[in-house]
Amino acid sequence: QVQLVESGGGLVQVGGSLRLSCAASGQTFSHYAMAWFRQAPGKEREFVSSISWSGGMTYYTDFTKGRFTISRDNAKNTLYLQMNSLKPEDTAVYYCAAVYLYRPTNLGQSDVHSWGQGTQVTVSS
């Protein structure tokens, strides 16, 4: 089992930026493809972005393209999500996840091996 702890959330104004981090411990981080999901109040958890174990391949859902960037540093056992040009509809709890397999498609919760506890992102208008 890999343990995941997110950080970096907070309150930001429309158009602002945040960088989320996800620190991993336990099993070898570099063995896992990773992903970010989010859950807004009253909505289902939805996929945001994923990255292969090496970081060489990334995939983004349509609403993030051009604004969000996923990356990882395997030497630091850390996953990142750089979020720019934030919108009020980006307000959600953001979760990092270790996934069973990298696929260039929107992932579902059944693809997830381990979840972090989440970090709140609030975008004010």
List of residues 6+ apart from 49 with CB closer than 8 A: 35, 36, 58, 59, 60, 61, 64, 68, 70, 81
Q: Place 65 in a pLDDT band, splitting at 50, 70 and 90.
A: confident
Percent over 70 (pLDDT), the chain: 100
Strands (E) across 10-91 are located at: 10-13, 18-26, 33-39, 46-51, 58-60, 68-73, 78-83
Q: What percent of the chain has pLDDT over 90?
A: 92
Q: How confident is the model over 104-123, as pLDDT tens digits?
A: 999 999 999 999 999 999 99
In this predicted model, what pLDDT tens digit does every residue of 83-106 receive, in sequence order? 999 999 999 999 999 999 999 999
